[in-house]
Structure 1
Amino acid sequence: MKEEERIFKGMLFSPAHPELRLIKQHAHKLSRQYSDTYEEQKEERESILKQLLGHVGKGCYMQGPVFFHYGTHTEIGDHFFANYNLTVQDDAKVTIGNDTLFGPNVTIVTPIHPFIASERKQMIDQNGEAKSLCYAKPVSIGSNVWLAANVTVCGGVTIGDGCVIGAGSVVTHDIPANSFAAGVPCKVIRPITEADSMRFKSDILADCRIEE
C-alpha cells in the first residue's frame, strides 16, 4: 500500500516519506507562485490553480497569499471566494462546495498527531522502522457557507450547506446545515431563518433591494 493510500484510509503514515515529500514540494512551489502573482493576472492564476488542486470549479477567486500542503487532495466547487492568507493543510481530503466564502486568515488542518509525547516523537511503522508518524481526517465544507475571519476547521469536521461560522471560531465537531455557529470550540448558536433576511434591516438595506 502506498503511503498516500494510508492517509485516505485514516491510518498512521510517515509525512517524511519520499513520495509524499514530492507531492508537497510541488504544492508548496505552486502556492508560492500563486501568491507572487498580481490580481490582474487572471489567466496565470487560473492556470496555477488547475495544476495545484484536485479540482477547482468555475468562477473561483482567491485573494492570496495562499498555502496548500498537498493541493491535489483539495476539491473546490464553483464560485468559491477566499480572502487573504488561506491555509489548507490537506493531508486528508478537503472538499468545499459551491458559492462558499472564506474571510481572511481561514485555516483548514487535517493532520492529527499523537497526544503522548514519546509516540509523537516516533513509533514503529509497517516496515518495522522507527519514524515520526501521524494520521489525518478529511474535512467537508458544504455549499453557500460563510467562514468569517480567522476561522480554523479541524480534521474530521463536516460543515453543512448554508452555515455561517463566526469570526475566530475553532471548529472541532460537525455543524448541521443552515446553522449559525461560533466559539472556541465552535458550537451551534441557532438556526438561520428567514428572519435573518436583509429585508428586515431597512436602515442597512437603504436604497438597495433583495433580488426576487
Structure 2
Amino acid sequence: MQTILTRDFLAPVLLTLRVSITASVIVFFLGFAAAWWMVQKKFPGKVFLETLFMLPMVLAPTVVGFLLLVVLGKRGWIGIWIERLFKQTILFTWWAAVIAAVVVSFPIVYQTMKTGLAAIDDELVAAARSIGANEWQLFRYVIVPLSFRTMLTAYIVGFVRSLGEFGATLMIAGNIPGKTQTVSTAIYLAIDTENMTLAWYLVGTMIVFSFLFLLIVNRKSNATIG
C-alpha cells in the first residue's frame, strides 16, 4: 500500500511541485524583462509583438503542445541544437514539462507585470536617473519597492498556472509514471482507469494548493486597496 501511495500519489505531487517551482522562477524573470522592456520602449510592431506574447493564453493547449513538439523535436530548429548539446532530446523529460508550463503561464505573468510596472510614475524613474542611479540601483531601490506586490502576484499566478498545466505538457512530456507524470496527467490516467479514490486525492491536493496561493494573492490585493 505504501509503495502504491508513493508511486501513484506522492511521485506526481512532488514532480508537479518541482516543475511548477522551476517554471515559475523562469517565467517570473522572463515576464519581468519583457514587461519592463515593453513599458519603456516604443517601436513599430509593438502591438504585433505584444499580441504574440499573449497568444498562448487563447490558443488551445493542444495547439501550443503541437507547436512545441515541432520546435523541440529532433528536426525542430531548437530541438536539433539541444540534442547536439546534451546528446539527447528534451522531449518526454521533466524539462519538457517545465517548458510547457513556462509557455502557457507567460502571458498572465507578463500582463500582471506590465500592469504593475506601467503604474510606476515616470517622473520617479527619471528623478532616480537624474541623480546618477544606474540600472541596478534603479531596479533595487525604485522598481522593486514600488511594484513588490505586483511581482509577488505575478509569481504566484505563474506558479498556480504551472501547477495546473495539462494539455501542452501531455503532448511534449507525456505521462510517464515517476518521470514526467504530473498531478494533472495523473488525474487523467486515474479517471481513465476508474481509480476514483486516487483521482479524488490528487484533485483535493490541487484544490488545496491553488486555494492557498490564490488566498495569498487576494490578501495582498485587499491590503493594497485598504
Asked which structure has the greater RCO (Cα within 8 Å, sep 6+), the reply is 2
Tell me if TM exceeds 0.5: no
In the superposition, the TM-score normalised over structure 2's length comes to 0.26
In the superposition, the TM-score normalised over structure 1's length comes to 0.27
Question: More strand per residue: 1 or 2?
Answer: 1
Q: Which has the larger Rg?
A: 2
